[in-house]
């Protein structure tokens, strides 16, 4: 039988009754003869509560201590789920990230996994024990508790699946798979039975919240078979039916991919645009601007440099809206005077909308169709970024939902391929 890693998100374990249902679902797989390792998040809303509590004590919490506080949410869940499994007559044992151990770097609040010692989990599996592991957390070389950033439990699940060489990593969440776009914006959005790893990586990086991007990167690097399913379906669904439900993320392009030019529409609301106006157009200027931002651990997304005029150019890029004030301060206080920029402007009310599909490789005119569709809706494009399988645009935030609906219709995504 198979070795399965199941990850359950905060909504899936949001109450005592839901934890009991997770236990029943896990038990069903275990009773069918499968080896199961479970990774869980904190109960829904708990991490937010803990962070808010920390901020009541210290408005800008010390990152190391914040990780100590935030990591306790998962510790509650692993204990409760282990108890629930024991009540059903199954041997279960809870583990924190440190106990496994999940080794990370020391970037508190957004640490990256470096290695995992899976020996204890393998020993448990060999004796019929179900390990229940806290997602979102690990331990650094100095023994400090670290957390992996928002959505980090997905990464924990995939990383454990890679370390254990699991047959499949199942991500249980409050949606029943990956959709062509957010059904809350486009009710006609369609669930995809399969999506390629490349498409999922693009969708995650461009704003799709179904899977955290680092988890998809991990899956790609270690070729972990991923499936996204809903934990809100009845726990007693026949195993054969459940094992084929949701969306399977594959490493093989669908044989019908040429029929689906675009597989999905992704969007990100939390974008902000910064324009460094009138910088000298000389070698190294981009490095001088972006290195200062990067040194502050601020991620830059889309980048645009205008044509040089009289030896000067404008340099535009986007950052997360939460990093926008800090990025502006850095540029105005340090970069502007060193590079001789005339002005630094910003706009925190933009968004990014993207079309994604491996079929774009073999079809011409996809970008022009996207641009025409937006033009017909009176939506101005501020920035453009492309890759082999995606086209992204930055537009005014107020037009985001209109753009998503128009593009979904233009590319016939409500129709099955």
Phi/psi of residue 24, each to 5°? Answer: -65, -40
CA proximity to 41, closest of 179, 151, 176, 166 = 151
177: CB partners within 8 A, 6+ apart: 191, 192, 193, 210, 228, 229, 230, 245, 246, 247
Tally of CB atoms within 10 A around 184: 9
**3-class secondary structure, 179:** strand
Pairing outcome for strands 226-230 and 168-173:
parallel
Question: Which domains can be identified in the chain, with CATH numbers?
Answer: 3-252 (3.40.1160.10), 264-410 (3.30.2130.10)
pTM: 0.82
pLDDT of the chain, 417 residues: tens digit per residue: 899 999 999 999 999 999 999 999 999 999 999 999 999 999 999 999 999 999 999 999 999 999 999 999 999 999 999 999 999 999 999 999 999 999 999 999 999 999 999 999 999 999 999 999 999 999 999 999 999 988 889 999 999 999 999 999 999 988 888 999 998 899 999 999 998 888 888 888 776 778 878 888 888 888 999 999 998 889 999 998 998 899 999 876 544 444 568 989 999 988 999 999 988 888 888 888 888 888 888 989 899 888 778 888 899 999 999 899 999 998 888 777 778 788 899 999 999 999 999 888 878 889 999 999 999 999 999 999 998 899 999 999 999 999 999 999 999 998 765
403: CB partners within 8 A, 6+ apart: 267, 353, 374, 377, 379, 395
Integer Rg of the chain from CA: 23
- The number of CA neighbours under 13 Å toward the Cβ of 323 is 19
């Amino acid at each position: 039988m198979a070795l399965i890693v199941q990850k359950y998100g905060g909504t899936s374990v949001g109450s005592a009754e839901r934890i009991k249902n997770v236990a029943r679902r896990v038990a069903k797989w275990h009773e069918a003869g499968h080896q199961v390792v479970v990774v869980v998040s904190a109960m829904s809303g708990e991490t937010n509560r803990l962070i808010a509590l920390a901020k009541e004590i210290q408005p800008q919490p010390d990152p190391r201590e914040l990780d100590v506080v935030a990591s306790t949410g998962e510790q509650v869940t692993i204990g409760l789920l282990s108890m629930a499994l024991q009540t059903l007559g199954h041997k279960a044992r809870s583990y924190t990230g440190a106990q496994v151990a999940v080794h990370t770097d020391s970037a508190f609040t957004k640490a990256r996994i470096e290695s995992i010692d899976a020996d204890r989990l393998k020993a448990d599996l060999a004796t019929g024990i179900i390990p229940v592991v806290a997602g979102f957390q690990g331990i650094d070389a100095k023994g400090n508790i670290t957390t992996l950033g928002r959505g980090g439990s997905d990464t924990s699940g995939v990383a454990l699946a890679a370390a254990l060489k699991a047959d499949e990593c199942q991500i249980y969440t409050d949606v029943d798979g990956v959709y062509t776009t957010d059904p809350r914006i486009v009710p006609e959005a369609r669930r995809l039975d399969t999506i390629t790893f490349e498409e999922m990586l693009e969708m995650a990086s461009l704003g799709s919240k179904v899977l955290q991007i680092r988890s998809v990167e991990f899956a790609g690097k270690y070729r972990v078979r991923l499936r996204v399913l809903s934990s809100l379906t009845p726990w007693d669904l026949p195993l054969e039916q459940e094992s084929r439900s949701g969306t399977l993320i594959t490493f093989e392009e669908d044989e019908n991919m040429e029929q689906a030019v675009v597989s999905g529409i992704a969007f990100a609301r939390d974008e902000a645009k910064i324009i460094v106006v009138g910088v000298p157009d000389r070698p190294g200027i981009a490095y001088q601007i972006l290195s200062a931002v990067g040194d502050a651990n601020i991620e830059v997304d889309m980048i645009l440099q205008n044509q040089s005029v009289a030896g000067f150019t404008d340099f535009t890029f986007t950052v997360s809206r939460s990093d926008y004030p800090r990025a502006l301060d850095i540029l105005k206080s340090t970069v502007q005077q060193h590079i001789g920029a005339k002005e630094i402007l910003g706009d925190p009310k933009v968004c990014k909308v993207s079309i994604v599909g491996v079929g774009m490789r073999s079809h011409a005119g996809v970008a022009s169709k996207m641009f025409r569709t937006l033009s017909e809706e009176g939506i101005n494009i501020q920035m453009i970024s492309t890759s082999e399988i995606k086209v992204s645009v930055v537009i005014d935030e107020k037009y985001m939902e209109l753009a998503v609906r128009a593009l979904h219709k233009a590319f016939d995504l409500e129709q099955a391929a």
